[in-house]
Amino acid sequence: QTGPVIDMPVPASFNDITQDPSLENYIGWVWYEKEVLLPVRWLQGDPAPRVVLRFGSAHYYSIVWVNGVQVVEHEGGHLPFEADISSVVQGSPGTLCRITVALNNTLTPHTLPPGSIQYMTDKSRYPKNYFVQNIQFDFFNYAGIHRPVVLYTTPAAYIDDITVTTTSSDSVAMVQYQVSVVGSTASSLSLSLRDQEGKVVATADGPVGELKVLNPNLWWPYLMHENPGYLYSLEVKMQAQVGGALLEDVYTLPVGVRTVHVTSTQFLINGKPFYFHGVNKHEDADIRGKGLDWPLIVKDFNLLRWLGANSFRTSHYPYAEEIMDLCDAYGIVVIDESPGVGIKLLESFGNRSLQHHLAVMEELIRRDKNRPSVVMWSVANEPASELPPAAHYFKTVIAHTKALDPSRPVTFVTNANYALDHGAPYVDVICVNSYFSWYHDPGHLEVIPLQLTAQFENWYKTYQKPIIQSEYGADSVPGLHSDPPLMFSEEYQVAMLREYHSVFDKKRKEYVIGELIWNFADFMTNQGTIRVLGNKKGIFTRQRQPKAAAFVLRDRYWKIANESSCLPPVITSHSLFL
Q: Which amino acids are annotated catalytic?
A: 382
- Please state, in angstroms and rounded to a whole number, the distance separating the CA atoms of residues 335 and 468: 11
Q: For the sheet with 29-36, list strands across it.
A: 29-36, 97-104, 61-66, 69-75
For 23, residues 6+ apart whose C-beta sits below 8 A from its C-beta are: 14, 15, 17
C-alpha–C-alpha distance, residues 239 and 184, integer Å: 10
Whether 200 contacts 270, CB under 8 Å: no
CA 193 → CA 199, 206, 326, 440, distances in Å?
8, 14, 20, 53
CB 302 within 8 A of CB 548: no
User: How far is it, in rounded angstroms, from Cα 190 to Cα 489?
Assistant: 60
Q: Which CA distances in Å does 298 have to 87, 219, 293, 467? A: 39, 21, 9, 30
User: Shortest CA distance to 70 belongs to which of 38, 100, 32?
Assistant: 100
Q: What are phi and psi of 43, to 5 degrees?
A: -110, 5
Contacts from 436-440 at CB under 8 Å and sequence distance 24+? 436/472, 437/474, 437/496, 437/499, 438/473, 438/474, 438/475, 438/487, 438/496
Give the distance between the most distant pair of CA atoms in the chain.
81
With b meaning 16 or more CB within 10 Å and e meaning fewer, what string describes 540-555?
A: bbbebebbbbbbbbbe
Q: Angle of helix 351-368 relative to helix 390-404, nearest 10 degrees?
A: 30
